Structure formats: structure tokens, C-alpha cells
Amino acid sequence: NSGLLRLGRCSSRVSGSVGRAWTGISRVRMAAEVIDGKLIAEQVREEVSVEVTEYITKTGKAPGLAVVIVGTRKDSQTYVRNKRRACDKVG
């Protein structure tokens, strides 16, 4: 079964409507592509920085970050501290 993907018929109810999708069994071959994660992250930060500047110019208000930490896990505190630093860097 290597390389086989099977997706069956499905339906879901979203906003009162029913959506349906169907695919049969098909061979899926995807080429791997090496990406530069640091470069992409920097590009995303630059785009967000531009959007933040435009938002502040348009509204006069800066976007904020709200966090709720339950407990005193050091890894959670480190994660939040790093998110706060990332937000500070983009505005």
C-alpha cells in the first residue's frame, strides 16, 4: 500500500449547507522540496511588520497579544516569552 491514498465519500454540515467530496483510490507521488525555514520565517515577519504598521496608521491602535497561562510550567512561560519577543520585533 505504499504510495496509496484512499479518501472516501464524506459530507459535513457547515452553516446549514451540506458539502460533499469524493475521490477514489489513487497513487500519490510527491517530490520533496528542501525549504529554508529561517528565510521563510524572516519573510513572514517582514510581511507582518508591514501589516502592523498599516494597521496602526489606519486605526491609531496597535494590535495586542493576550495570553492565559495556567500553572507554572517553565516551558510554557518560555514559549509565551518568545511569542512576546516575536510580537515586539514586528511591532
pLDDT in tens, 59-78: 999 999 899 888 899 999 99
Report the half-sphere exposure of 71 (CA within 13 A, side-chain side): 5
pTM exceeds 0.85: no
Q: How far apart are CA 41 and CA 22, in angstroms?
A: 35
> In this structure, which amino acid lies at residue 12?
S
Placement of cell 454540515 in the chain: 13
pLDDT at 31: 84
Band the pLDDT of 46: cuts 50, 70, 90: very high
> Cell 460533499, residue?
20
Distance of CA 9 to the CA centre of its chain: 27
**CA–CA dist 41, 47 (Å, integer):** 10
pLDDT of residue 52: 94
